[in-house]
Amino acid sequence: MKTNIVPAIFTTILLLLFGNTKAQYLYDSVFFEMPTSKIVIDAPENNRWQIGQPGKTFFNAAHTGSKAIMTDTVASYPINDTSSFIYIIRNPYTQTCFTSMSFWHKFDTDSLTDVGIIEASYDGGKSWLIAKDTNDVMPLWSNFWWEADYHAASDTYTSHLATITGKSDGWIQSRFNWQWWIPVKSDTIMYPLDSLMIRFTFISDGIDNGREGWLIDDILTSSAIPEICSGLDDHSAQKALTISPNPFKTSATITAGFDTSNATFTLYTSTGKQLRVIETNSNQNPIIQRDKLPAGVYYLVVSSKGQWQATKKFVIMGEE
């Protein structure tokens, strides 16, 4: 079990985007060994989520320590059930432009019918947004995107779907990121500080398959410090950055509707590995050349004088 990569793999992209000093971003975590106000289990008398020691066949231990959160510590999940828990992310982690969350998990479900989903709320739980790849979600101008899953059993990475279903190959570390340009709303009745709420929900159908459900441990949140975000109050740079065509097989053109005279265009894999810096001419739009890259999801990061300007996801298809 490769617990030494927490938080190494999780912080890779933040290090690449924001520099190599830990002082440039903030960490928050829940490891379930001690009681915490960051986790809220709604209506616990009817909720299948429990914090404790796993006592099942597949869910036989926590990832680290002795405790984790799961859909019942000993019994399989029931039919026709919807149960949730919420992770509350409070100041200063909400007042930033870029935040990531990773967590280790196992799942054992009836494939495609029983599912786990992840949602976010900026307004104290009044409304929820599914945390999947999105763009410019009004009125908060937010972007969500998934990074890769790390499969501990095989030491490999895969892309992650928006839902959790089927059976995992042991422990997996998943990570998703989000950006926003307007701070979350304050709900002084429920939560005294501005809070971003992440809700994990498991939904079962009417067939009892005797499966174990969803087991989650070692939740880690990392956010850029406010100083990094000081120039990002306006979402115009992100909106003005385009890649066309997208997806593509051979090459694509980058169009940036903002000043790029001193800009650097850098390509990253979905796991945060830097691939190359694109050579630019201030009088021309830069070109992304496939150059034998395998099919998959990649990211273009535009920076200027050490400051992040915009990020755009793009997809390379099939064989060249």
DSSP 40-102: EESSTTT--EEEE---SSSS-S-SSSS-EEEE-SSSPPPSS-EEEEEEEEETTTTSSSEEEEE
152 or 278, which is more confident: 152
d(CA 213, CA 210): 9
d(CA 170, CA 304): 42
- Residues 55 and 183 placed together within one structural domain of the fold: yes
- Residues 225 and 245 placed together within one structural domain of the fold: no
Q: CB 125: neighbour CB atoms within 10 A?
A: 18
Work out how many domains the chain is built from and give that number. 2
- Residues 70 and 207 placed together within one structural domain of the fold: yes
**Element (H or E) spanning 224, and its range?**
strand 213-224
Dihedral over alpha carbons 292, 306, 15, 216 (to 10 degrees): -90
Mean pLDDT computed over 177-181: 65
- Residues 84 and 158 placed together within one structural domain of the fold: yes
- Residues 69 and 211 placed together within one structural domain of the fold: yes
Q: Running DSSP on this structure, what letter comes out for residue 133?
A: S
Mean pLDDT computed over 238-262: 85
Confidence of residue 93 (pLDDT cuts 50, 70, 90): low
d(CA 259, CA 282): 9
Confidence of residue 154 (pLDDT cuts 50, 70, 90): very high
Residue pLDDT, tens place only, 67-77: 999 999 999 99
The residue range of the domain holding 44 is: 3-229
**Residue 270 pLDDT > 50:** yes
Confidence of residue 192 (pLDDT cuts 50, 70, 90): very low
Residue pLDDT, tens place only, 52-92: 999 999 999 999 999 999 999 999 999 999 999 999 887 65
Q: Is 174:103 a contact under the CB 8 Å cutoff?
A: yes
Mean pLDDT computed over 152-161: 83
DSSP 13-42: HHHHHH-S-GGGEEEEEE-SSS--TTEEES
d(CA 151, CA 170): 8
d(CA 5, CA 193): 31
The CATH number for 174's domain is: 2.60.120.260
- Residues 129 and 256 placed together within one structural domain of the fold: no
- Residues 207 and 294 placed together within one structural domain of the fold: no
- Amino acid in the structure at residue 101: M
Q: Which residues contact 284 (CB under 8 A, 6 or more apart)?
A: none
**Residue 157 pLDDT > 80:** yes
Mean pLDDT computed over 242-254: 92
- Residues 134 and 250 placed together within one structural domain of the fold: no
Q: What is the pLDDT of residue 264?
A: 85
Q: Nearest CA to 164 among 64, 232, 259, 77?
A: 77
Confidence of residue 10 (pLDDT cuts 50, 70, 90): very low
Residue pLDDT, tens place only, 109-137: 998 789 999 988 877 787 787 776 554 44
- Amino acid in the structure at residue 162: A
- Mean of the per-residue pLDDT values of the chain: 77
d(CA 210, CA 76): 6
- Residues 27 and 54 placed together within one structural domain of the fold: yes
